[in-house]
Structure 1
Amino acid sequence: MEIVEVQFKAQRKEFFKNSKALYLKTGNYCVVQADRGEDMGLIISITQATPEEVEADMKEVLRHATEKDIETLEVIREKEKEAMKICQLKVVEHDLPMKLVDVEYQFDSNKITFYFTSEGRIDFRELVKDLAGVFKTRIDLRQIGVRDEARRFDGLGMCGRRLCCATFLKDFEPVTLKMAKDQHLPLTPSKISGACGRLMCCLAFELDYYKDLTRNVPKVGSKINCFGGKHRVEKIDIFKEVVVLSDEEGEQMEVPIEKLKQELCAETPDIIEEEQADVSE
């Protein structure tokens, strides 16, 4: 059976089973089962799965989207803009400390989801009643974090690429300052923070690569015997994949990391002394 990954508004993605054996292609729109109704999204991937791998409660793809469906979706996007304005006014009326981030209509208009951020818990029961009276449909107010907010808006990171959270990351992993230290990155907040203001997600999923690259390489500050003399490890440049060494006269040289590893293995030098490099917090 085919498992279809469908993308909805603002990078929201879900998996559905193609139990009707429809001929589906990535890049096409389809209509799927939703919470008490139907929703419509873009097919971004199709994979094969055995019946045992398919969850019993997984929703299914109902049909191909028609041209009329696509036109309806464009109308819905305009309705969402108006709903955003109305909800913002209601938030002010109820004097709630919340920031409205986005609005998403279910394709059949059986539900409207309002996404917001807030410093703490919000009692929005009266707001929900007010909105339900205006829109005459089910209302879902969903509190999200700043990372989810960045994902919904999308954008470019300091690397020049689209945000990882808006492209391929499905879950947010914990990110710590130690991960930046292990990758020899400057600890300046502006250098290691993403569009959301939190530590960049890439610090977590790229960590294993940096660890593999620097495995068996002496720490910064270590004094070693190699290349026919005594040297001190001054710097490890992960991006250039080189190590900066200085000899007893203070002359510096750049050596590819792999070449240093080969030298260390070939001559099995003694590490004379290891000085933990100072890392500013």
Structure 2
Amino acid sequence: MEAKNIKYDCTRGTVSNRSDEGELSCGFNGGCCKLSVFDWMCGIPDADSADLFEVRFKNTRKLYFKNDTGIQIHVGDIVVVEAVNGHDVGIVTLKGPIMRRQLKRNDINQETYEFKKIYRKARVLDIERWQEAIAREHKTMIRSRQIAASLNLNMKIGDVEFQGDGTKAIFYYIADERVDFRQLIRQFAEEFKIRIEMRQIGARQEAGLIGGIGVCGQELCCARYMSDFQSITTQAARSQDLSLNPQKLAGQCSKLKCCINYEAAAYLDAQTNIPYVREPLDTLDGPAFLVKTDTLKGVMWFSYEQNSMTNMFPLDASKVKEIIKLNARGIKVESLLPVASEKSPEFVTAVGDDSISRFDEKHKGGGNNNRRKKTVNLKHNHNQNQGGRNENNKKA
């Protein structure tokens, strides 16, 4: 198997390879699946969900099907499933008792929901036709954008997904207002010779389709597990004392980050224990001004200098409530500055022999001077000895 013949399709989670004889093989690659689910109930027998399967298509589109054929189907198998018109091709990503929890998460009643059928496992001809339809998607998306621009439609076509049999395509588009695309659909049908389905998505859903890495270093939440998007306001950021900088609060979809809502409820609950300080606290040392608040710890920081963060001291929220009640009765409290604790005298040995640094040189500069003096004295002694030898030789 040569590496140049291998093709990785992260939009569908597949790895395809065409041999030298021209035979195409396609397999499942779970490492690049969006909205992947860990099956922690794998291996547990469950008769009620034995014939239910989750089938993954392009990007974040998943549907649920029923297997009435009696064929043994496993996770990772490429299957041919029922569609509104024709058939589609997808990959099985979940089976077993975890399916009941997945259906409950998506508000699907197992008793009343009409599950579409799984026809069979995909054959070589099905995979060939499926790969040919996938190869048309990018060119179709580029051409559809050109047609939409020529009609002066205020919309953006974000992605195109072909059905497995190549007879239908879903065009995902983003628009801030209602768009009349009847003329657009007619031109699409004439241009691409397929059935057209227009599906509107939001900016967050588009980010989930594309995928990426967030500022936290992990995969985007909308591509990893989020399927329902709640409204996010700047009030959630204010409750957490976050900087209202749009560049820091906005995600890759140019909307407020979904993770702002993760801890908003905890902060709102903790703020019920924090008193509202309308004016400085009256103390004998003067007014104490509120500088900042640690909501989760329930600690409020004050300073006697207004609009300054120097010489701050912490106060518990319960204590601040008591001070506010006393100030309301006209009573000034004592100084709020923390009492400086007296330092205990350090133990000093009378004899310095126990010091491990007693052998270290105390003055590095003096050491160099002593070395120079020693070399000068050695040269002087050497000259004296040499002169004495010469005088002895003359006498001899």
TM interval, shorter chain, is: 0.7 to 0.9
Q: Displacement of 1:210 after TM fit?
A: 4.1
The one-letter code of the counterpart of 2:253 is C
TM-score (norm 1): 0.74
Q: Which residue of 2 aligns with 1:35?
A: 84
Give the Cα separation in 1 of the matches to 2:313 and 2:128: 65
Q: Which residue of 1 aligns with 2:141?
A: 84
The 3-state SS of whatever aligns with 2:92 is strand
Q: Which residue of 2 aligns with 1:11?
A: 60
Q: 1:18 to 1:237 in 2, by over 3 A?
A: farther
Q: Displacement of 1:22 after TM fit?
A: 4.7
Please say if residues 65 and 117 of structure 2, whose CA atoms lie closer than 8 Å, have aligned partners that are also in contact.
Answer: yes
2:192 is the alignment partner of 1:141:
no
Q: Displacement of 1:128 after TM fit?
A: 1.0
Out of 212, 225, 235, the residue aligned to residue 293 of structure 2 is 235
2:179 is the alignment partner of 1:128:
no
Q: 1:15 to 1:269 in 2, by over 3 A?
A: same
The 3-state SS of whatever aligns with 2:139 is helix
Q: Displacement of 1:112 after TM fit?
A: 0.8
Q: Which residue of 1 aligns with 2:323?
A: 272
The one-letter code of the counterpart of 2:324 is E
Out of 238, 257, 273, the residue aligned to residue 181 of structure 1 is 238
Out of 271, 274, 279, the residue aligned to residue 218 of structure 1 is 274
Please say if residues 291 and 303 of structure 2, whose CA atoms lie closer than 8 Å, have aligned partners that are also in contact.
Answer: no
Q: 1:204 to 1:61 in 2, by over 3 A?
A: farther
Write out aligned runs for 1:49-60 (5 A): 49=100, 53-60=110-117
Out of 160, 176, 179, the residue aligned to residue 119 of structure 1 is 176
RMSD (Å), alpha carbons:
3.6
Out of 113, 124, 131, the residue aligned to residue 74 of structure 1 is 131
Please say if residues 17 and 58 of structure 1, whose CA atoms lie closer than 8 Å, have aligned partners that are also in contact.
Answer: yes
The one-letter code of the counterpart of 1:115 is Y
Unaligned runs of 5+ in 2: 1-47, 282-287, 306-310, 326-396
**1:89-113 deviations in whole A, cap 9, x for unaligned?**
3223333232221111011123111
Q: Which residue of 2 aligns with 1:106?
A: 163
Q: 1:17 to 1:175 in 2, by over 3 A?
A: farther
The 3-state SS of whatever aligns with 1:87 is helix
The one-letter code of the counterpart of 2:293 is K
Q: 1:68 to 1:243 in 2, by over 3 A?
A: farther
Please say if residues 83 and 103 of structure 1, whose CA atoms lie closer than 8 Å, have aligned partners that are also in contact.
Answer: yes
Give the Cα separation in 2 of the matches to 1:44 and 1:231: 59
2:78 is the alignment partner of 1:44:
no
The one-letter code of the counterpart of 2:323 is I
**1:162-217 deviations in whole A, cap 9, x for unaligned?**
111111111111111111122222111112111111111122244334446x3665
Please say if residues 184 and 236 of structure 1, whose CA atoms lie closer than 8 Å, have aligned partners that are also in contact.
Answer: no
Please say if residues 302 and 312 of structure 2, whose CA atoms lie closer than 8 Å, have aligned partners that are also in contact.
Answer: yes
Aligned length: 256
Q: 1:27 to 1:54 in 2, by over 3 A?
A: farther
Give the Cα separation in 1 of the matches to 2:132 and 2:81: 19
Q: Which residue of 1 aligns with 2:208?
A: 151
> Percent same amino acid among aligned pairs?
32
Higher strand share: 1
Give the Cα separation in 2 of the matches to 1:70 and 1:219: 65
Give the Cα separation in 1 of the matches to 2:257 and 2:313: 32
TM-score (norm 2): 0.55
The one-letter code of the counterpart of 2:194 is T
Q: Which residue of 2 aligns with 1:227?
A: none
Give the Cα separation in 2 of the matches to 1:231 and 1:20: 75
2:253 is the alignment partner of 1:196:
yes
* More contact order relative to length (CA 8 Å, sep ≥ 6): 1
Give the Cα separation in 1 of the matches to 2:321 and 2:194: 74
The one-letter code of the counterpart of 1:35 is V
The 3-state SS of whatever aligns with 2:323 is strand
